Amino acid sequence: MSQVEESIEVDVPVRTAYNQWTQFDTFPIFMDGVEKITQVNDTLTHWTTKVAGAEREFDAEITEQIPDERVAWTTVGGEARQAGVVTFHRLHDTRTKVMLQMDFDPEGFAENVGDKLGFVERQVHGDLERFKQYIESRGTETGSWRGEV
């Protein structure tokens, strides 16, 4: 099992950053390789990804969700094995630190080489940078889900 930890500061309030993160259908806008995410129910999402030409589908279950604090998940079934948490930290009324921690299990030779070369860390860093650009350019979230899991 490999692990990645990345964080970024965004110039929006905690509530705005958290609310946007709960809009899983917008992830393809800022997450490289994510083709589509479908919200099946309050705690289950279906992901379609394409990374380095390899297409994968899997489900992810939200295991914990506390508004303005955290969203945790784990994959269930499908071809990908990962678990993680995103936490939101108020730095100022209009500034938030978004921290992502993820454990993942690379499969096969190519994924293991990519992991050793830091591909996943660079991809997560880039995804968070694009999230920052997306939410700061909008200034407001596209929606929200304030439920607790």
Residue ranges covered by each domain of the chain: 2-138
Q: Can you give the pLDDT at residue 127?
A: 97
Class of domain 2-138: alpha beta
Look at 55 and 88; give whichever has higher pLDDT: 88
Element (H, E) at 72: strand 70-76
How many CA atoms, within 13 angstroms, populate the side-chain half-sphere of residue 15? Answer: 3
Q: What single DSSP character describes residue 22? A: T
Q: Can you give the pLDDT at residue 59?
A: 96
Angle of CA points 141, 10, 89, to nearest 5°: 95
How many CA atoms, within 13 angstroms, populate the side-chain half-sphere of residue 97? Answer: 7
State yes or no: pLDDT of 18 exceeds 90. Answer: yes
Distance CA 141, CA 64 (A): 21
State yes or no: pLDDT of 78 exceeds 90. Answer: no
Q: Is the Cβ–Cβ distance between 64 and 149 less than 8 Å?
A: yes
Of 105, 126, 101, 106, which Cα lies nearest the Cα of 34? 126
Each residue's pLDDT tens digit, 59-76: 999 999 999 999 999 999
Q: Is the Cβ–Cβ distance between 58 and 36 less than 8 Å?
A: no
Tokens for 146? 């304030």
Burial class, 18, CB count within 10 angstroms (exposed 0-12 / middle 13-18 / buried 19+): buried
Q: Can you give the pLDDT at residue 104?
A: 87
Look at 102 and 110; give whichever has higher pLDDT: 102
Chain-wide mean pLDDT for the chain?
Answer: 92
State yes or no: pLDDT of 99 exceeds 90. Answer: yes
Each residue's pLDDT tens digit, 108-149: 777 777 777 778 899 999 999 999 999 999 999 999 999 899
CB burial of 61-99 (b: ≥16 within 10 Å; e: otherwise) equals bbeebebbeebbbbbeeeebebbbbbbbeeeeeeebebe
Q: Can you give the pLDDT at residue 98?
A: 98
